[in-house]
Structure 1
Amino acid sequence: MGLKGALILTAVAGVVAVVAGLLIVIKSPGEYGLDSGGRDQLQLAAQPSGMPQQALFKAAPTVPPPLPALVPAPPLMPSTPKRIVVKRLGISAPIESIGLAKDGTIEVPPVEKANLAGWYREMSTPGEAGPAIILGHKDTRTTGAVFSKLWEIRNGDTIEVKRQDGLTAVFTVGGVEQASKKTFPTQRVYGNQTNAQLHLITCGGTYDRTIGHYKDNIIVYATMTSSYRG
């Protein structure tokens, strides 16, 4: 079967959590981009489709995530994330742990809780070595949501994740990608990494009224460059 062959090619040997994430994403990449269940259906005349004043990251799916022009900080011990803050965009939102739905796809935060982000608990915790994945809605049927301004983020911006252990992991953005949900860069987003990375995912691009979903994902790649207590 073609899907099983693709899963094998994208799996990362020896990392069980990453393999699990790759298997599920490649099976239903749209679900990783908040693509089902009537979500992301704000009826607007137009949606932003690009990143003005900054070139989007573009590369083959197997190319590693882009890194900021700073030395990565040493990884931290695992700790559950509690809140995500992006000061320049005015984002300050609680984080909920999410796993897999009964159909084998990744859960997303409840659409009625617009200002809630979801951390995929089968991957690294923010600050731990490897990619930590946080998803959030772009909008709902009636209002903007937690990641409505994510497409405005810039290389060099900082993202703070407050953790249960009292530490705040600070990540610096190294690149932003707009990818079609049909060709989701699975390996780049979920593949194993030696440093502590944070990958944010939301919807973006053109809103297709015929299917009730956005066609693309906005993916932010950031690397931990410092941490502090507080």
Structure 2
Amino acid sequence: MSGYYPYGGGQPNQPPPPADKGGTALRTVLIVAAIAGVVTVVAGLLIVFRSPEEYGLASNRDSLALRAQPKNTGQPEQALFQAPANVPPPLPQINPAPPMLPSTPIRLVVKRLGINAPIRSVGLAKDGTIQVPPSENHNLVGWYRNMSTPGEVGPAVLLGHKDTRTRAAVFSRLPELRHGDTIEVKRQDKTTAVFTVGGIEQASKKTFPTQRVYGSQENAQLHLITCGGTYDRTTGHYTDNVIVYATMTSSYRS
């Protein structure tokens, strides 16, 4: 006899209760079943992540079919401009304004899209392509300084990112612009050039309409360029470009 008394009272020298072998076996079965369930779930997730498009989980960068207008605006979609590369850019049905003297652009405002972004001058990269603004700054627009300034005679070219690795960027909604929408560029000389959209084009980067975008023009034009189409994981780039063509139709003192 041990004379052991458990805390809280009890009978002296009472033997411990017999081991519950059935309960132990049941707990073992439940633990094994739980482990098997976790393994099954993990295996299923691995299959889905390897082929996300088959399960409706592909990221936005995997399938970015661009539209001229969102489906749920209550307005009919606008057809994208399509033409051979040597065809001039589309013009709005309004008389162009007389070109202004050159002046460095400092800010881009597109009220319809909620864009109010600073502009930075960019040149050519080492591979001969036009530089783009730093990807870490999602709200920065680049002006290609080897072309006209916005408001000056000829095409002025502004570039912006569609997205970054973590969020949408300044030109993410560019395809939503419509024929007749206005774009404002604030300039260093305290004037604002107002441009009217004539058309929007989505072109493969393999057949980029170089002449239409960079060719000489008799009036002041503005061309906005961003990425579009499908994101190619192999190259790390989108397959297409979205190009907005606009003509200066007025100006005012800022």
TM normalised by structure 2 equals: 0.72
Contact 1:197–1:222 (8 Å) recurs in 2: yes
Tell me which of 156, 164, 167 is aligned to 1:132: 156
The residue number in structure 2 matching 1:110 is 134
The residue number in structure 2 matching 1:204 is 228
Gapped regions of structure 1 (runs ≥ 5): 1-41
Contact 1:80–1:125 (8 Å) recurs in 2: yes
How many residue pairs align between the two structures?
A: 189
The residue number in structure 1 matching 2:253 is 229
The residue number in structure 2 matching 1:48 is 65
Provide the secondary structure at the position in 2 that maps to 1:200.
strand
Larger radius of gyration: 2
The residue number in structure 1 matching 2:177 is 153
> Which of structures 1 and 2 has the larger relative contact order (alpha carbons within 8 angstroms, sep 6+)?
1
The alpha carbon displacement at 1:43 in A equals 5.5
Moved over 4 A (4+): 42-45
The residue number in structure 2 matching 1:83 is 107
Q: Which amino acid aligns with 2:169?
A: A
Q: Which amino acid aligns with 2:67?
A: G
Contact 1:43–1:141 (8 Å) recurs in 2: no
Provide the secondary structure at the position in 2 that maps to 1:88.
helix
Q: Which amino acid aligns with 1:153?
A: L
Change in 2 beyond 3 A, CA 1:103/1:174: same
Tell me which of 186, 189, 211 is aligned to 2:210: 186
- The whole-number CA distance in structure 1 between the counterparts of 2:64 and 2:147 is 31
The residue number in structure 2 matching 1:31 is none
TM normalised by structure 1 equals: 0.79
Contact 2:62–2:230 (8 Å) recurs in 1: no
Contact 1:126–1:132 (8 Å) recurs in 2: yes
The residue number in structure 1 matching 2:86 is 62
The alpha carbon displacement at 1:48 in A equals 3.4
The alpha carbon displacement at 1:66 in A equals 0.4
Identity %: 74
Offset from partner CA, 1:125-166 (integer Å, 9 cap, x none): 000000000000000111111101101111100000000000
Q: Which amino acid aligns with 2:191?
A: L
- The whole-number CA distance in structure 2 between the counterparts of 1:62 and 1:106 is 21
Offset from partner CA, 1:60-113 (integer Å, 9 cap, x none): 111101000110000000000000000010001000000112333211101111
The alpha carbon displacement at 1:45 in A equals 5.4
The alpha carbon displacement at 1:51 in A equals 1.8
- The range that moved more, 64-73 or 47-56, is 47-56
Q: Which amino acid aligns with 2:116?
A: S
Tell me which of 114, 121, 144 is aligned to 2:145: 121
- The whole-number CA distance in structure 1 between the counterparts of 2:92 and 2:174 is 17
